[in-house]
A = this chain, B = another copy of it.
Amino acid sequence: MTIRIGILGYGNLGRGIECAVKQNPDMELAAVFTRRAPESVKILTPGVPVYHVDDAISKKEEIDVLILCGGSATDLPVQTPEYAKYFNVVDSFDTHARIPEHFANVDASAKESGKVAMISVGWDPGMFSLNRLYASAILPEGKDYTFWGKGVSQGHSDAIRRVEGVKDGKQYTIPVESALDAVRSGSNPELTTRQKHIRECFVVAEEGADLAKIEQEIKTMPNYFADYDTTVNFISEEELKRDHSGIPHGGFVIRSGKTGWNSEHQHIVEYSLKLDSNPEFTASVITAYARAAYRMQKEGQCGCKTVFDVAPAYLSSNSAEDLRAHLL
């Protein structure tokens, strides 16, 4: 029996889920739900219905896991607790500071309905969190570091676009190579925000705009750019489209720790991602965790779960015997 997946919200992430489901023979896409007029939404998979989001709950018998592809600011805090009343759900809630509150809300819903609701699935939170946890449990005497990039930050790109005189723009977060090297050396450096990442902006200015003023405004923008070494490059609209239309990302989680009776031995554990498409990779992680949600609920579990609560074997379509024989 295949796992029937529903997608709620058909943007970059939703489309990524659709692509990931295609790669997993034990799954099928059952339906897409959208806030737009359903007939206006063209999806990639032939024969799969697109419904209005208002019809989602009425389709609950046709969906094993509903994947919520909305945003963390306003969509998911409402949607995840709501849909966990009716479905096993997975979301990619990524406002780190609000995870405890989101967990509590979702857990209450999912405990009542007997469903499994996985929150904050993706790569950070997600795979990076897992690597922080594994490495710190193994090497309690140590320090971990997370670096992001090189990759496009949507939030920072949006911030650039709000500057007066800016027509369009893209921002790359780039880890500082010398900081990575210092961490890998095991010296456990204390690194400031500025020492860890640089920010590179590609900006299309409106005709006649004051470029110096734009550059100054970006570089001094609090929270977003002021604490970083930021470079601003003005380019044409054509160049932006040609060279900067991808959504790459990635990063590094590195833990350096000591063992031995006198802490005489040093160890470096490093996990890194280099992603051509941030939303498609995130979607691929979510899809694997949708399999886990389905299986865990079948086994009688319920409530809110994070990647920390999921035994790795649940993620794979292979049997436990097969995993032990071939991957262990």
Contacts and interface: CB of A to CB of B under 8 A. Distances in A.
Interface string A299-320: 0000000111111110111001
Contacts of A184: 274
Which 3 residue pairs of A and B lie closest in terms of their CB atoms, listed nearest first? A265-B276, A137-B315, A259-B280
Interface in A113-143: 120, 125, 127, 129-134, 136-141
Given A99-B324, A129-B328, A140-B23, A268 B260 contact: no
A129 B327 contact: yes
A81 to B, nearest CB: 16
A312 B133 contact: yes
A325 B280 contact: no
Contacts of A309: 311-313, 320
Contacts of A268: 272-275
A90 B313 CA distance: 19
Interface stretch (A194-202, A216-224, A228-236, A281-289): A281-289
Contacts of A23: 140-141, 259
B259 A267 contact: no
A306 B281 contact: no
A59 to B, nearest CB: 24
Given A18-B261, A306-B324, 15 more contacts: A44-B261, A100-B321, A100-B324, A103-B324, A130-B134, A133-B327, A136-B316, A138-B284, A259-B281, A267-B277, A271-B271, A308-B320, A309-B312, A310-B311, A311-B311
A126 to B, nearest CB: 9
Given A19-B259, A23-B140, A277-B265, A324 B308 contact: yes
A25 to B, nearest CB: 9
A7 interface: no
Contact of A132 (B132, B281, B327): B327
Given A141-B23, A325-B99, A328-B125, A311 B308 contact: yes
Contacts of A316: 133, 136-137
Interface string A183-198: 0100000000000000
Contact of A22 (B261, B273, B312, B321): B261
Contacts of A313: 133, 308-309
Nearest to A120: B328
30 contacts: A16-B259, A19-B259, A19-B260, A20-B259, A23-B141, A100-B325, A133-B316, A133-B323, A134-B315, A136-B327, A137-B312, A138-B281, A259-B284, A260-B277, A260-B280, A265-B277, A267-B273, A267-B275, A269-B273, A270-B271, A270-B272, A270-B273, A307-B312, A307-B328, A308-B313, A308-B327, A309-B312, A310-B311, A310-B312, A311-B311
A240 B71 CA distance: 59
Nearest to A259: B280
A285 B275 CA distance: 29
Nearest to A100: B325
A244 to B, nearest CB: 16
